[in-house]
Structure 1
């Protein structure tokens, strides 16, 4: 699989966020999905894993090749099935729009309905791997995202706030805050090249590197 996109993650404070954002707004464009009022949009992801939580534990177990399956929606609109792979800081993502019928079938692991309604060989292969690996929906991750873009390197800088984790399928689900108060996740994503003028703004600061995914951090909280 071709891994050309670099993804870096950091935990930053609210104060650091305001300072960095005030510089980036002069260098980058606000993401077109953002709402005019607050510059943000909501992301909800449902992650799939097996009985042994293998996808959650890949990083902790020292496995170099990471892979995740999730259903993701933006501002609670139409959903996509995403398959994301990562080696080190290099990533690749495949995604497919879902009808409501297919989304429900995925959540219910109804493969008869899935195969009947899927005519794309790539998504058929993805669903086939999910069935082979006995993956089931396990955890919701929700957050608000503020994103900035630049055409060079297809660069995206995102600030993810109010991140919560909720176990899937519980009769009385309990939503947990993933991060400490007054902190958020900064993500830097680019293909092949990060513009120097953006790099200088970000990397002269001593931000705390985030080694684990939102899914892993949320999963860890639900084990308590």
Structure 2
């Protein structure tokens, strides 16, 4: 059974990143999704209801929140994940199930009855949200993730670079997608995730107390930038 994990987020500079990645590479392994030293592309289509509840709950500091998204890696349809990310304060729980390219296209066409025939409860929950709360695709979020993992307390340190939103489409596989960056160089995001505790050697290695924590939401940053871009 999955359990809530700690998630700490920080804005860091490129100078900090270059120093930290050198240290982490000596003691942790890079994520299996990586295609080179820079990491891998994550592209996510986020859903929200007609009232943008997820957007406003975050901006209003609601303690318990959730987000639904469909996620792919490196522009490939080999893995397509329907995910729900739940948050209670600084603790997160991510649950996910696989969907096919055909099922993904059905969702874009508002044909989601197939979800009721699936076994996993997450399919059914997503169906209820689509049907009851009129969930709609809102924005595609792109970034390059460089991730390092450790086995003690399931530690995961990630550097998320080139955070962008897609300006002209809500289709993850649209080859005409145009992206607009939302963070000014040299800023990027470091995330620190772990189960029960953060091992001391990791804490000391990344000098975690030297960085300023921030309540960062990639969805919020990109959704607000998208709203401003389209003048909505």
1:216 match: secondary structure: helix
1:101 match: secondary structure: helix
Distance 1:185 1:64 in 2: 22
The answer to whether the 8 A contact 2:115-2:123 is kept is no
Q: Name the residue aligned to 1:52.
A: 51
Alignment CA distance shift 1:154-1:204 (3 Å):
closer
* Distance apart, 1:113 and its partner CA: 4.0
Matches within 5 A, 1:69-84: 69-77=68-76, 78-84=79-85
Backbone CA RMSD of aligned residues: 2.2
The answer to whether the 8 A contact 1:59-1:212 is kept is no
* Distance apart, 1:63 and its partner CA: 1.3
Q: Does 1:89 align with 2:79?
A: no
Distance 2:121 2:24 in 1: 40
Greater alpha carbon shift after TM alignment, 152-161 vs 201-210: 201-210
Match of 2:218 among 195, 207, 214: 214
Distance 1:135 1:7 in 2: 26
Q: Does 1:126 align with 2:136?
A: no
Alignment CA distance shift 1:28-1:173 (3 Å):
closer
Specify every segment of 5 or more residues in structure 1 that has no aligned partner in the other structure, as ranges: none
Q: TM-score, normalised by structure 1?
A: 0.90
Alignment CA distance shift 1:2-1:95 (3 Å):
closer
Q: TM-score, normalised by structure 2?
A: 0.87
The answer to whether the 8 A contact 1:47-1:70 is kept is yes
Q: Name the residue aligned to 1:9.
A: 9
1:25 match: secondary structure: helix
Cα-to-partner distance string for 1:59-101 (whole Å, 9 max, x where unaligned):
2112111100000011123210000100111010110011112
The answer to whether the 8 A contact 1:4-1:192 is kept is no
Distance 1:66 1:133 in 2: 15
Q: Name the residue aligned to 1:20.
A: 20
Distance 1:169 1:197 in 2: 42
* Distance apart, 1:184 and its partner CA: 0.8
Cα-to-partner distance string for 1:7-59 (whole Å, 9 max, x where unaligned):
11111000000111111111211112212x33411100000011221111212
The answer to whether the 8 A contact 1:106-1:114 is kept is no
Matches within 5 A, 1:92-131: 92-116=93-117, 118-131=118-131
Q: Does 1:187 align with 2:168?
A: no
Q: Name the residue aligned to 1:159.
A: 159
* Distance apart, 1:169 and its partner CA: 4.3
Greater alpha carbon shift after TM alignment, 22-31 vs 196-205: 196-205
